[in-house]
């Protein structure tokens, strides 16, 4: 029986661990980027347009209602934030929910939002967008039931 060296075991072990972590990361990335984690129910995702501008987050609900720096969602309901920017590059960062996405002028990027626990979650701008960057703070209010707008 051939003798297996420690060096070979170390290399093979490292490759296996890295392949496992890389595979898992790519899988989760694909799931997050396509919204495949939405539950298989008959609930259609509600699309909310989000326009980032110096130094405010503008939310436009499907019925045309506009709100600034605050959006109210329903727990257990899937949403798609159609994210864009009106001026410079911003980034929507919702720390507690693990979301971060760039808002680029002229492009619309979908951010698939699904929150299971009611609460208030902070929104920060994670891309330096000007002298008032630090004031660009909003919040997502997730309620347990009732209307979302």
Partner 1 sequence: MSYKTLRPVDYILWFITILIMFFIFEAIGDFGNLPVSSASPVSLYEKQLFEYTYIAAGGVFAIFMGSLVFLAGKFRESQPSQVKKKTDYTAISLVLLIIAGGVLVYSAIPYFSPYLPLQLQFNMGILIAMAMLLLFGITLVMYKEYYKD
Binding site for partner 1 (CB under 8 A): 10, 14, 17, 20-21, 24-25, 28, 31-32, 37, 95-99, 113-117, 119, 121, 142
Q: Which is nearer to partner 1, 12 or 21 (CB)?
A: 21
Using the minimum distance from each CB to partner 1, give the nearer residue, 21 or 66: 21
**Which stretch of DSSP H or E encloses residue 24?**
helix 6-34
Min CB(32)–partner 1 separation in Å: 5
The b/e string for 130-147 (b: 16+ C-beta within 10 A; e otherwise) is eeebeebebebebeeeee
Q: In this complex, which beta carbon is closest to partner 1, that of residue 48 or of residue 142?
A: 142
Tell me, what DSSP letter sits at residue 69? S
């Amino acid at each position: 029986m051939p003798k297996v060296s420690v060096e070979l075991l170390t290399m093979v072990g490292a490759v296996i661990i890295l392949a496992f972590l890389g595979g898992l990361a790519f899988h989760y990335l694909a799931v997050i980027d396509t919204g495949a984690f939405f539950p298989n129910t008959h609930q259609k995702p509600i699309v909310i347009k989000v326009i980032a501008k110096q130094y405010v987050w503008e939310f436009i609900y499907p019925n045309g209602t506009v709100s600034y720096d605050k959006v109210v969602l329903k727990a257990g309901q899937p949403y798609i934030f159609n994210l864009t920017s009106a001026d410079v590059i911003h980034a929507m960062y919702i720390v507690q929910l693990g979301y971060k996405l760039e808002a680029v002028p002229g492009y619309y990027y979908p951010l698939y939002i699904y929150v299971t626990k009611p609460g208030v979650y902070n929104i920060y701008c994670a891309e330096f967008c000007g002298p008032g960057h630090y004031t660009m703070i909003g919040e997502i209010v997730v309620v347990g039931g009732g209307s979302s707008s």
